Structure 1
C-alpha cells in the first residue's frame, strides 16, 4: 500500500470532441484513484448534470471530472487542490458523496466548497479538505475560505469526489494529505519502453509505405510479468486507455510510422490501472544512399563508338549505395522497380545497356541479418558521347635573340584544330604519350619553350561536362625567317586633345612592311613582344597609342599560320606649337583710326622657330588693326605641324544719349529714365546741384527723385571708351507754404524750372470755389498768399501748371498761418 500523501496530476482539460460516455464527467465513468496513479485526460463539459439539488453549496457542474477513491485502512481523507495557474481568477469547486453510494443514487454531498477565491479576498486559489477546518460546506461566492473539514473513513469505504471548474481554464493537481491509503495500481514488468517496442519489416505491398500488421499481444507476457488479477488491453490514444474504451485487436495495422500504442493494466479486484505506452516501428530496410549517375564514355569496344551503348560493372556502385559496411548487405540490380521488390530478373554484374544513352535500373538492398527488410533505389546508366580530336601543328618565329630553333609557344593557338571545332572542351598538354597516360608532367600551355625542333607533344582533350577524353598529337616547329623594323611616318598631334595620343590605321603600314617578302603572307599587330610571340591580345586595325608621343608596338608576319617574323613598329606623334588660347578683344569706335595690336602668343619656344600666316596675308608674329572683324593666325613649327588661333575684335563705343524721360509726380516720387544707344555696355549716374551722386548703376532708370536740377553721366564699361553727360530738371511743387515773412517757405513756386528748363511755364492759383487768385511764370518769385493785397486764410488751394513743353499739372497745396 501507498500513503495518500501523493499528488494526482490531472492535465489537459481542453475542448475535444469526445462523447459524454467516454468522459469522466459522469459518475458512471469516474476515474479510480490508486496509490501512485498519474492520470492524463482530454475532458471538457459536464456530461449529464448530476449535482442539481444534491448539495448545500448552491452549485452544479460547469466543467467537471469525477473521481472514485476506496480506502484500504481507516483514517482521514484530506487533500489540497492546486490549479496550475496561480491567477486568483482560477476558481475550482468540489463535492464529495458517500460512503459507499452508487451512481444514480448518490444522495446529498457530505462535503462541498464553492467559495470564489477572488470574491472572498483569498491570498491564493487553493481549495480542499483540511484537518484544521470545522465546516462541512461553504459558498457560494464570498462565503468561506475554500477549505472544509476532513472526513474520517473506514477501511473499504468508497467515495465519489466531483471536481468542478466554474471559472478559468487551468489544469490542476491534487495532493493527498490525510492518513487513509488507496490500493496500489499494477506495474509494468518491462525494464523500459525499448524492451516492449515492436519492430516489423514492411512485408505488405506496397513495401515502402511504412504500413504493415502487428501482433500486439506479443507484449502481454512482458508487460504483466508474474502479477495476478491483472488484465491488459491496447488502445490508440491515452484517453481511450484511461477510459478503457475502443480496445484494439490483433492483428493490428498501424496508422503512422512510428506509432505509439497505449496498454492499460487493470487490477480486476481494485480497478486500479496503469498506462504503459510503447512504439510500433516499421523497419523499411537498410539505410542506403542515393547513387550518383553511373556514366561511361561511348567507345568502340562493342564495334561502334556512336551507338550510345557500353558495358557497366554494376557492383562498382555498391559502396556508394550501402556505405562503408557493404558486407552487411546483399545487392542485386534489376530492370524494373517491381523486379527489384520481388527479386526477379537479376541483371549481370557486367551489364550492357539495352536502352541507348540513358537507361534506369533498380537496386535491391537486403540486410544480411534480417533479409525480410528490403530497400530499393533507382540508378541511371548514362553513355556519354565519344570525344573527337584531330592532330595539329604550330609554327613559331625564332625571335628570342638567338637563331637556334628554340623559342616560346602559345599551345592554345591549336585549340580549334585539336578539338575539331568543339568549344566546350578542356586541353591538358604532356611532353609524351606515357606522361599523358599517367597524367604526370603536364605542360603550361601559355609560354612553353620547345626542347627540340621539331617536337611532338600529346594533348588530352576532355569534355568537362562528361569527363570523356581522347588524345591527339601537336607538332611544334620553329621558323628561322625574319623581317625588318619599321618606323611609321610621324603624325601631328590632334588639335582637339593635344595629349600625344592619336588613332592609327595599322593596315596603312602593312604594304610597306611586306615589301620584298613572299606573297600571301598575313600580318597582325601586338602591343608587346610576348603578345606577338604567343599570338594573344591582337590590336584592332584602328589603334590608339597608349604611350604619348612615342611608342613601339610589334608586328607578326605569318605564312599559313606559320610564323615568318616578328619585329618593331615605331609610332611617333609630333607636338603642336604651344600658343595662347583664342581671344576676344574690344575696340573703341570713338578712337578710330587708332589701332590695337594682335599677337600669336607663343609660349614654348623662341618666335623665330615658327612661321606665321594671318588671314590678312601678313606673316609677322603680330599685326595692328582698327577694324571690327575675326582674325586668324596659323602657327607652324619646323616639323610642319600647325595650330590656329582666332582673335575676335568686337566693337565698343562711347554712349549716345537719345532722350531723358522724366515722370513728375509728387515731391519725392519722380522717375528719370535715360535712353541711350551705342556698341558699349553702359552704367548710369545722377548728380544733383549740390554735387551728391547716386553712384553708377546698371539700370538706366532712377526712382524716387526729388525735384530739381541734375547731371546724368553715362560711361562705357565694356572697353572703357569714355563717359558722356547731360543736364536735366525734375518738376515738382511743395505741399504747403507759410507766408509769415520768416524767410522760410514764404512763397509758393514750382521746382525744377529755370531760364534753361521750362522758363515760359505759367502757374495759376485758385481757391476752393475756383476763383483765380494769382497767375505768374516759373521765373517769378511765386505767390505770397495774398489777393488784392489782403492775406488769404489758412486753407487748401488749387493750382494749374502749364509747362513750356506742353505738360499740364493740376493739384492742390496748403497755406498755413
Structure 2
C-alpha cells in the first residue's frame, strides 16, 4: 500500500499540511495553485507503472490539471541529502484513464550513485533531451520537460526504491510562470480562535456558523471540519456543526473543496476552553493553640478574582497571580471560617470573561497541642557498671513533634515542673549523662517557636543494663570427616551490638549489614562459639562438635601425637567400633573411642612408617536431632 505521511502545499504565503491514506491512480492527489509539493511516501499499492525497468516501492500518485500553455518541468529534491537515497518517477498523459493506462511519456529510474552523480536530485528540465533513462547507471537523473496545453491532465508517480525521508517538488517551465500551470485552490480564510468558559473542563462550540467566514462562496465550495490533518486530507470523520471539546486548547482543521476543480485548501484554528478551577483554601497552621496570624492561601485559575467572606461577614475580593495563588494573613484568636462564594476572570476591558459559583470553605480551629506518642525509653549498656551512661535525647525530637506542624521546638528537662514552666532546660541533650541512679525520668516540652505559651509536655525513662549476652543459633555446613568445617552464627538477638569468636580466634561483628557470620575450622573435636556484647555487657557460649581423625601421628614417645584415635565422639558414640589395618588389609588393632588410641605397634612390635587404613562404625546425629548408623573408611600416615 502507499502511504503519504506529510504533504505540504505552499500557495503564495500560506502553508497547508496534509496526511494521505494509501493511494493509487484513482486516488491521485490533485495539485492546485502555483505551488511546491512535499511528501514522505511509504509502501506501494497496486503495481500500475511501466517503463524504465522498475516498479513501485514507496510511491505516491499526483494529478495535475493544466490551465496555462507552455513547458512544464520540476526539480525533485529529497529531504535526506544522503546520495544513497534514490527517487524515481513516471509521467502519464495527456488525459490518461486510470483504468487503461498506456506507457509513460517520461520516466527516470537512474541510481545517483551508480551514475556518478554529485547529489540525489532528479526531475524534468530544459537541458535534457531524452524522454526516458535508467535503470542504474543509465542517465543523469533528469529527462526533458513536457509541452502542455490548457485543459490537459497528467499523472505523476513518484517512488523511493532506496533510503528514507520525504521530498519536495518545485515546478519549472513557462507554464509554471505567472498565475501558474494549475487551477487556483479555493479560499480558506484564517479566522480567530474560538473561546468558551467552563468550570467542568468541557465546552460546546458551534462550528457551522464559521463556514461563511472561512469561505464566502458556499454555493461553489464546501467547508468541512476535522480533528486531524490526516482526516481532513482523506475526508474521514467530518465533525458535526455542534462540537464538544474536552481539551483546554484543541486545533480544528477546516477544509474548503471546490465543487468544480476538486481543489482543496485547509486552514486551522483553535478551540480554547477558559477553565475556572474550583478554589482551594489552605492555612499555614490548623489547628492553632494560641492567638496568632495565620497565613491563608487561595489557589485556582491564574488571575482569577475570588469573592470570599469571613464568618459570614461582608464579601471581600482578592486576585490570584499568574500562578493562580493569592496569600493574606488573618489574625485568629478563636474559631473562624473562610468561605468562597464566587470566582471570575476579567477581559482586558474589565468585562467578565468567565465566572463560576464556588462552595469551598475552611474552618481554623483553636485547640491545644499534644506531644507525639511512643517516645523512646532509652536502655543502654553500662559496661563498667559505674551507674553512668551517655544518651542522645534528641532521638525523641521527631517523635515529640509528630502531632504538630512546622514552627514548633523541643527542650528537655529534669522535672515536670521545669518542663511546664520552660526553665532549666538540659543544655547538651545530644550528649547527656544521667544525673541520678537508674532509672531516671526526663521530661520533654514541645512549644511554639513564637507563641511559647502554646506548649505540651510528656516524659520518658533512661535506664541501663550490665548483663546482656546474645542469644544466637549455630549452623554447620558439614557434619563429620571433612578437612574443613564451616560454622555459621545466625538469628542473633539481644540488646545492642554483638561480636563472636571461636576459641581464641579473631572477633567478628554482627550488625544490620552483616546479620550472619561464618568461621572455618579444621579437624575434629569440640569447638566453643563465644558471643559477647561489644560494650562489655555479658557473653554467652555454645559448643559445636565434629567427628574427624588425624591425618598422621608420630609415635616417638616425645609426648606429641604419640597416639592415633578418632576425635569428636560424644556420649552417644561411646560404643563406636574403630578398626585399624595395614595396606594389605590385615587387622592390626581395634580401639575404643574413649581410649588413648593406637600407639603404632602390633603385638609389641613397632610398625614402620607407612600409610594405614581404618574403618569406623558410629552413630551420626542429624541437624533435626535424629540419629543414623554410619561407617567411614579412610587412611592416615604413621611417621617415625
The TM-score normalised by the length of structure 1 is 0.38
More strand by share: 2
The TM-score normalised by the length of structure 2 is 0.47
Larger RCO of the pair (alpha carbons < 8 Å, separation 6+): 2
Larger Rg: 1
